[in-house]
Amino acid sequence: MKQYSLITIIFYLMGPALIIASHLGSLLVFITGLSVGAISWIVFLYLIRMLGTTAIYHRLLTHKSYQAPTPLLWIGCIIGASAGQMGPSWWKAHHMAHHLHVEQPLDPHSPYTPFQGWKGFYWSQGGWLLAPQFFPEKLPADVESDRVLQIIDRLHFVPTIALGALSYAMGGLEYLGAFFLSTTLLFHGVQTVNSLAHLFGEQPFITDDHSRNSGLVAFLTLGEGWHNLHHAFQSSSRHGITIRNNRVVYLVDPTFIFIKMLESLKLASKLRMPTEPELLSRARPQGSPHTNLSAALNTR
Ligand SMILES: [Zn+2]
Ligand SMILES: [Zn+2]
């Protein structure tokens, strides 16, 4: 277990504290009500911070599925941090552990271990953040070697609090409540990749885990719900891909559309993507059984 300094422990614990505060702060909207402007603010903050998480934290920083100028990575990580779901080192550390130990005891947020059923769902939907495993075993060396990313990581709560202050300045308690509600919805949206996308959906590709392609999760997370493809081809910049009748079919993947937009602006390059023969070589044979919840529980 990595030894953390007291200040890092305090800074890291600001993350769960802010998420709990967001849940409670969301209740403000029952007092203030929500105008069209405040609802638009909720949606805007959800979408831009979801993209910071999916396009920057996940597909760029963690999996290097495309290349981008360093300032874009830094700005994207500040937007990602403003989601209130921790900074780049912490995020990448846990996500790499998820891929490395998927559905095994060292997977930080599997719905199959250490708990199953409803408790497993609660664990993967956010309960894992309130356990000692919240502190990563090891922080990624590549992120830690970038001084700017390291500062964003430790001071991850500053963009979140700044966004809350901006919301309050824009529209008082109503917009502050809108900010809290957006942050809470965003938190649960992101966590559905850990929970629902390992429980329900299709498995068009052969993987040694329970990852699923889920249209619902893809809708909530701008394309990250095509999670079976992601576990099969982790470095693919496009997640929205499936197999139907032995043919490759492309699915709506807003994060990938955003990355293509960055590419057209010369802000992204070298997008990685499996070829169709590679995709077909990993296709699950038609009629072969999917891994399912009961089968998974029997193997644990
Ligand atoms: Zn996964
Ligand atoms: Zn991943």
Query: In the predicted model, what is the mean pLDDT of the chain?
Result: 95
Q: How confident is the model at residue 286 (pLDDT cuts 50, 70, 90)?
A: confident
Closest ligand to Cα 228: 1
Report the first-to-last Cα separation within the chain, whole angstroms.
25
pLDDT at position 156: 98
Q: 234 C-alpha vs ligand 2 centroid, how far in Å?
A: 6
Does a structural domain hold residue 300? no
pLDDT tens readout for residues 167-218 = 999 999 999 999 999 999 999 999 999 999 999 999 999 999 999 999 999 9
Write down the H helix ranges in 195-274. 215-220, 227-232, 254-264
Please tell me the predicted confidence (pLDDT) of residue 294. 43
Residue 257 Cα, ligand 2 centroid: separation in angstroms? 18
Within a domain: 1: no
Whole-number Å distance, alpha carbon 27 to ligand 1 midpoint, is 31
Q: Ion ligand 1 — residues with CB under 5 Å? A: 211
What is the band of 11 on the pLDDT scale with cuts at 50, 70, 90? very high
- Count Cβ atoms below 10 Å from residue 191 Cβ, excluding itself: 21
For residue 178, being part of any structural domain is answered with yes
Domain total in the chain: 1
3-state secondary structure of 60: helix
Residue 228 corresponds to which tokens in the numbers above? 């079976």
**Cα 296 to ligand 2 centroid, rounded to whole Å:** 21
Q: Is residue 179 part of a domain?
A: yes
User: How many angstroms does the Cα of residue 198 sit away from the middle of ligand 1?
Assistant: 6
Give the total residue count for the chain. Answer: 300
Q: Is residue 103 part of a domain?
A: yes
Tell me: pLDDT of 300 over 60. Answer: no
Is residue 297 situated within a structural domain? no
- pLDDT at residue number 299: 41
| Residue 291 confidence (pLDDT) | 64
Q: What is the pLDDT of residue 222?
A: 98
Structural domain includes residue 286: no
Q: What is the pLDDT of residues 119-138, one digit of tens each?
A: 999 999 999 999 999 999 99
| Domain limits for position 143 | 6-281
Please report whether residue 294 resides in a domain: no
Res. 1: pLDDT tops 80: no
Q: Are 280 and 243 in contact (CB under 8 A)?
A: yes
Distance from the CA of 253 to the center of ligand 2, in angstroms? 15
Q: How far is the CA of 107 from the centre of ligand 1 (A)?
A: 9
